[in-house]
Structure 1
Amino acid sequence: MKLLDTPTENAFDQLTRLACETLDAPMALVSLVDGDRQFFKSHAGPIPEDFAVQRESPLSHSFCRHAVASGEAFVVENAKEHPLVKDNPTAREYGVAAYAGVPLFSADQQVLGTLCVLDTKPRHWTQEQLQRLSALTSVASSLIAYRAAALDSAAGADTGPDPASVERSERLAEAAASYLAQLDAYRRVLARVEPTEQSIEEEARSRAALLAAEDVLEAMLASAGTTEASTSAETATLLAACRDHADAKIQRSVAVASFQQMGLPLEEVERANALVVQTEQEVRFALRGYLMKGV
């Protein structure tokens, strides 16, 4: 994949910063797991100084290798009590107490590493937080897949990768991740039951940030397509999928509240949750498809 030992890139740094912000975690990594080490393509927050300088650590210090081995999300709420990592030097020597990592996949579904968040205090990772992390990981996987395709194309043409295309792909990934984060933040504001003067002002600020992020994403998508018609259709598909997913999460929140307060049948909650899972997959598919085809 030609990712190991490469310089930092703004698109990946944007994703790790967003992971910290949206999960309220002090540290985040894009970690690529090799045969005897893990390489940090990006990191945000105060990771151990020697790791930050070398941008890698041995597998003996890796939590991410467990997510890579299973191909599934790996979640640790208290490292001292978790059988797989309680003796890990990162937990003993550097005080990492909680971890959540979602696997990064190549286009042919090989597990490459993770996008992960870490905390120095034990904590419970909520299902909503893990869903947000999974959405950001999908963006990172799409960016990696595009880079690989661009490198293959350049190799076939016996030329280096087009710098303009690489920069455009990075900017598009940043815009998509920012839009998803702002959309999620706005829906959380709307989900509050009792409006106050402060919440109304917060809603206005959040809506303005969402609209600005949407304008940036629409402009990026429109400029990346091969034809105006296909670009317009792909833009509409991606934005509609994002909105449907956000609406589904609001419906689930309402269903859960109704179940708790008014005895709504549990089946309604289950249906609402299934819709959230379905729409999340549609967002991932739409974003991955556009990054692979549109740029």
Structure 2
Amino acid sequence: MTPYGTSRPLLTPVDQDGSRRSARLRKLGLGERADASFVSFDAFADRVAEVTGTPFSIVNFIDGNRQFFAGLHTPAGADGDLGAAASAGRSGRYLARDHGYCPHVLVRRKALVLEDVCDFPRFAGNPVVDDIGIRSYLGAPLIDRTGVALGTVCAVDTVPRPWGRAGLETIKLLAREIVVQIERREVSGF
């Protein structure tokens, strides 16, 4: 039996860059606390949801131990952990490192398109499928000017979606856009 009461093994990739990323996130002031930057990250997550037509989207910073939803968009009255995170406020913006698909994007350092997560045994066994009902994922890494993958931007849905090449190009463009915003934030001193 594995954690979370399932018989499926968790297949989160090993992250060789965790300590470097954690240090970079600390230097940038990201991933540790709730502050005024939430407004811009939440607004960006709202934009991602609008552009992709999805009910959920996230700007996610990942350290060595957990994921932090700095930007979060959920539909009003949403069920599941993402909806609970939105309604619980900033304290509900953390997720275990072995949940979801963003840690895979982070380690791979390239976008991931899963039109139906259940089509892939490696991804179908992830706790977010049963716990939250995620069925479709589109995510890209946030690689900053130093070459560190800080986290991800992603769009998710509770139904399978045909993202196609257009979806892939869109999420990659959105990732580049948020990285530029992060770099401007760094230059301006937060």
Using the size of structure 2 for normalisation, the TM-score is 0.73
Question: 1:88-237 counterparts in 2 under 5 A?
Answer: 88-151=126-189
Distance 1:135 1:90, change over 3 A: same
Tell me, what secondary structure is at the counterpart of 2:121?
Answer: coil
Q: What is the rounded CA distance, in whole Å, between the counterparts of 1:144 and 1:125 in structure 2?
A: 26
Answer whether contact 2:138 2:167 (CA < 8 A) is retained: no
Give the alignment partner of residue 29 of structure 1, picking from 51, 58, 63.
Answer: 58
Give the deviation of 1:100 after TM superposition.
0.5
Give how far 1:29 is off: 0.2
3-state DSSP class of the match of 1:41?
A: strand
Counterparts of 1:150 and 1:62, CA distance in 2: 32
Cα offset for 1:6? 3.0
Distance 1:83 1:149, change over 3 A: farther
- 2:103 maps to what in 1? 65
Residue of structure 2 equivalent to 1:276: none
Is 1:12 matched up with 2:46?
Answer: no
Residues 118 and 135 in structure 2, CA contact (< 8 A), matched pair in contact too? yes
Q: CA deviation at 1:57?
A: 0.4
Alignment partners' CA distance in 2, 1:22 and 1:48 = 19
How many angstroms does 1:143 deviate by?
A: 1.1
Deviation at 1:21, TM superposition (A): 1.3
Q: CA deviation at 1:37?
A: 0.6
| CA distance, structure 2, for counterparts of residue 146 and residue 135 of structure 1 | 17
- Secondary structure class of the residue paired with 2:123: coil
- Secondary structure (helix, strand or coil) at the match of 1:48 reads helix
SS of equivalent residue, structure 1 residue 136:
helix
| CA distance in 2: counterparts of 1:20 and 1:63, whole angstroms | 17
Q: Which amino acid letter does the alignment assign opposite residue 39 of structure 1? A: F
Q: TM-score, structure 1 length as denominator?
A: 0.49
- Distance, in Å, in 1 between the alignment partners of 2:59 and 2:151 is 7
Deviations 1:155-202 (A, max 9, x none): xxxxxx5xxxxxxxxxxxxxxxxxxxxxxxxxxxxxxxxxxxxxxxxx
Q: Equivalents in 2 of 1:145, 1:111: separation in Å?
A: 13
Per-residue deviation, residues 1-59 of structure 1 (Å, max 9, x unmatched): 21112335332222211211111111100011111110000111246344333101001
CA distance in 1, matches of 2:150, 2:171: 16
Sequence identity (%): 27
Quick one: which amino acid aligns to residue 147 of structure 1? Answer: R
Return structure 1 stretches of 4+ with deviation > 4 angstroms: none
Question: Highest Rg: 1 or 2?
Answer: 1
Q: Is the contact made by 1:48 and 1:94 (CA closer than 8 Å) also made in structure 2?
A: yes
Q: Which residue number in structure 1 is paired with residue 16 of structure 2? A: none
Higher relative contact order (CA 8 A, sep 6+): 2
Change (3 A) 1:84 1:149: farther
Across the two proteins, how many residue pairs are aligned to each other? 152
Deviation at 1:128, TM superposition (A): 1.5
Q: Over aligned residue pairs, what C-alpha RMSD do you find?
A: 1.7
Question: How far 1:130 moved relative to its partner?
Answer: 2.1
1:3 maps to a residue whose letter is L
Kindly indicate whether the alpha-carbon contact (under 8 Å) linking 1:15 and 1:136 is maintained by their aligned counterparts in 2: no
Task: Write the letter of the residue equivalent to 2:114.
Answer: V
1:51 corresponds to 2:85: yes
> Which protein has the bigger helix share?
1
| Partner residue of 1:38 out of 60, 67, 79 | 67
Q: Which runs of 5+ in 2 are unaligned?
A: 1-27
Give the Å deviation of 1:84: 2.8
> Structure 1: which 5+ residue stretches go unaligned?
152-160, 162-295
- The one-letter amino acid of 1:96's match is I
Q: Distance in 2 between matches of 1:62 and 1:75?
A: 13
